[in-house]
Structure 1
Amino acid sequence: MLKIKGLLISILLLAGILAGCNETPAENKDSTTEAVNVDATDWPRTFKDALGKEIVIEEKPEKMVSLWYFYPEILVALGEPPAATTEKEYLSSLAYLQGKLDSVEELGDKLSPSIEKILSTDPDYILATEHQEKLYESLEKVAPVITLKSKDIYENWQYGLRTVAEIIGKEDEAEKVIARMMKEISSGREALKSIQGESVALILSWDGKTFNVLGEENPVYTLAFDQEMGLGLTPDDTFKGTNNEFTSFEGISTVQADHIFLIGDITKKEELMNDLKQSNVWNNLNAVKKGNIYSMDSSAITGGPLAVEYALQNITNALHKF
């Protein structure tokens, strides 16, 4: 009887060991399958661009070429500077891109980029807009072209960031950038509650001769005045809506805002301000009399996430003292 019991125990132990051995590969198989599914979900992926063209992206792009000014800003924000871009000289002068594009190849004008230089870059993909339509045939011979509408990205920095992130597989990074910036905007809105009711005007001048009060289609306007996506400030009642360009300098006399932000080439700030101070029209403005004039570099108006952050910091720092 004892021998039989011993034999039964041995059989049960052996069965348990065999069962355990059989379960281990099953668990490993599940883990492997899960990993494969994750990889398969990431790459390859199919992206449908603004032209309705479906581009199969086999693996994470490493070398992107940019043909429009907002792409480098978005790519830098995602930690993936382009291999080459048009307008590099101008972009490198922007406050938030200084030193970030040193190793990036210059491709020339955004409407007539050097195809030869693009070819020498050997890009994985070319990021274009509808403005390069005439070049598509030549560009497609170099690398697949992904087209996005410039207006869509310019007017919505979150859309631009998320869309480019989808192309290069940096969706998580995009959401981190958006969450951080929305937190900063929310904090800025809270900090500026003390000046609610005081009106603000955003005036763009490239040359110190023509002046344009920015309107709703401009991303800086959204940042300054939107109640949810921006700082919730009060715009000058006279200039709600579209942009307003004055045909003569005297037209600026209609600006009644308590605070004015002058946006332009910051390197010409001193020259511009000296000229304006000679004008009775300028000196009679409400904001000038109150001493509420602030300068902001054109870095603020490119429409990308870094531009929005730059404008946010400038506006908040200027007005928070009140």
Structure 2
Amino acid sequence: MMKKLMGLVLSAVLLTGALAGCTGTSAGNNVTSTPETTPAVMETTTPAASSGTEAAWPRTYVDELKREIILEKKPEKVALLFFRNFEHMFLLEEGPAAATEVNMLDEWASLTPFKEKYDIADIGSMRGPNIEKLLETEPDLIIMFSGLYETYGEELEKIAPVITVAANENNWKGALGGYGEIFGKEEKAESEISRIETLIADSKEQLADYSDKTFGVIMLGDKQFWAFTTQFVFNEENGLGLNPPENYVDMGTKGEEITLEALAGMNPDYIFVADINGSSTTLEKYLKDLESNSVWNSLDAVKNGNMHALDSSIVAGGPLGIELGVRTIMENLLD
């Protein structure tokens, strides 16, 4: 299980390169309501749940691969074949009827509050979903990662309409907006985007006293150290604007494996660590193993008690993981 999860997390961080890549375009502004004068589709409208407005159905959604998908009505039984988008659906109060990588609800703290709220059928891995179990759920919409469409997307279309989505590491707002359009909850999506943006902006203001300090975000594995330039931590315009140490890796939100000696050379004032396998139990083991390591103990952050844990969901760049990451950083720095 841990090896499988490690592969998933690395895929999330490294643009899922092994899965045929993605185009990286925004998921937002993809829906157009079908005019009532169009004879080819039904003329109907359905109230948009939780939005306070009415959403027009049918509507046409242009997905990541520029395919036009007609949604005859608000999707009610969605099969989600991209674990990184659990957060977007949950924020819109939509639970998938079926999903791949359901185990992530046990592994990521950003997702665990929703485990008991929704009854989600486990259909295996997004790299090879269980089609038989998927059929049993009778979905009215399937959402999948665009990089895998050529592998089995056409097979899925025999079951239900298929929408493809991008990795969206740097575009959680566009992705959330896209899901708002799929479910007719545009206002709800905009409200959640505004709420998280406000949290980030307010937190950044409170951290002004740390402008002369440096920070590192490190994913730990079995004798592995991955340095990340996580956007919500370091981005000056849209994040907390914290300072990475000099010569810190420069690669967007992707990770780069470094040596412990390289980390010691950077020597950030504060270090936030997460487990690349996604398990807090395993993180505790890695940190325990490092207790006797002289290089690790030479780090200023370790010596001064300024090393803190983050949930592994931060690497996926989703809205709930970002919110949890910001709140965790604030709790550790200001308490």
Amino acid at match of 2:215: V
Tell me what 2:164 maps to: 147
The answer to whether structure 1 residue 163 and structure 2 residue 174 are counterparts is: no
1:299 and 1:52 map into 2 onto residues whose CA distance is: 29
Query: Cα 1:244–1:37, aligned 2, differ >3 Å: closer, same or farther?
Result: closer
Report deviation, 1:125. 0.8
Aligned residues: 277
Report deviation, 1:241. 1.0
1:178 and 1:79 map into 2 onto residues whose CA distance is: 14
Determine which structure has the larger helix proportion and give its number: 1
Determine which structure has the larger strand proportion and give its number: 2
Query: Cα 1:165–1:257, aligned 2, differ >3 Å: closer, same or farther?
Result: same
Tell me what 1:132 maps to: 148
1:92 and 1:63 map into 2 onto residues whose CA distance is: 22
Amino acid at match of 2:158: K
Q: 1:303 aligns with which of 304, 310, 317?
A: 317
Contact persistence 1:260–1:293 (CA under 8 A) = yes
Aligned positions of 1:243-258 closer than 5 A? 243-246=255-258, 248-258=259-269
Q: 1:173 aligns with which of 182, 188, 205?
A: 188
Tell me what 1:117 maps to: 133
Greater CA drift, 289-298 or 305-314 = 289-298
1:108 and 1:236 map into 2 onto residues whose CA distance is: 40
1:91 and 1:98 map into 2 onto residues whose CA distance is: 5
Tell me what 1:183 maps to: 198
Report deviation, 1:284. 1.1
Greater CA drift, 42-51 or 248-257 = 248-257
Report deviation, 1:59. 1.1
What is the percentage of aligned positions where both structures have the same residue?
35
Relative to the length of structure 1, the TM-score reads 0.81
Report deviation, 1:305. 0.8
Query: Cα 1:223–1:180, aligned 2, differ >3 Å: closer, same or farther?
Result: same
2:291 and 2:46 map into 1 onto residues whose CA distance is: 63
Contact persistence 1:200–1:257 (CA under 8 A) = yes
Greater CA drift, 252-261 or 196-205 = 252-261
1:175 and 1:224 map into 2 onto residues whose CA distance is: 22
Tell me what 1:263 maps to: 274
1:41 and 1:212 map into 2 onto residues whose CA distance is: 44
Unpaired segments ≥5 residues, structure 1: 1-35, 216-220
1:213 and 1:38 map into 2 onto residues whose CA distance is: 47
Q: Secondary structure at the match of 2:79?
A: strand
Tell me what 2:14 maps to: none
Q: Secondary structure at the match of 1:313?
A: helix
TM-superposition CA deviations, 1:67-97 (whole Å, max 9, x none): 1112222101110011111000123332132
The answer to whether structure 1 residue 202 and structure 2 residue 210 are counterparts is: no
1:175 and 1:42 map into 2 onto residues whose CA distance is: 18
Query: Cα 1:297–1:37, aligned 2, differ >3 Å: closer, same or farther?
Result: closer
Aligned positions of 1:85-96 closer than 5 A? 85-96=99-110
Q: Secondary structure at the match of 1:245?
A: strand
Relative to the length of structure 2, the TM-score reads 0.78
The answer to whether structure 1 residue 53 and structure 2 residue 62 are counterparts is: no
2:234 and 2:317 map into 1 onto residues whose CA distance is: 15
Report deviation, 1:240. 4.3
Tell me what 1:101 maps to: 115
Q: 1:279 aligns with which of 263, 273, 293?
A: 293
Contact persistence 2:46–2:73 (CA under 8 A) = no
Report deviation, 1:38. 9.2
Report deviation, 1:250. 3.3
Contact persistence 2:55–2:184 (CA under 8 A) = no
Amino acid at match of 2:261: E
TM-superposition CA deviations, 1:21-47 (whole Å, max 9, x none): xxxxxxxxxxxxxxx889796211111
2:155 and 2:90 map into 1 onto residues whose CA distance is: 27
Q: Secondary structure at the match of 2:231?
A: helix
Tell me what 1:4 maps to: none
Tell me what 2:245 maps to: 236
State the superposition RMSD in angstroms. Answer: 1.9
Contact persistence 2:104–2:111 (CA under 8 A) = no
Contact persistence 1:81–1:101 (CA under 8 A) = no
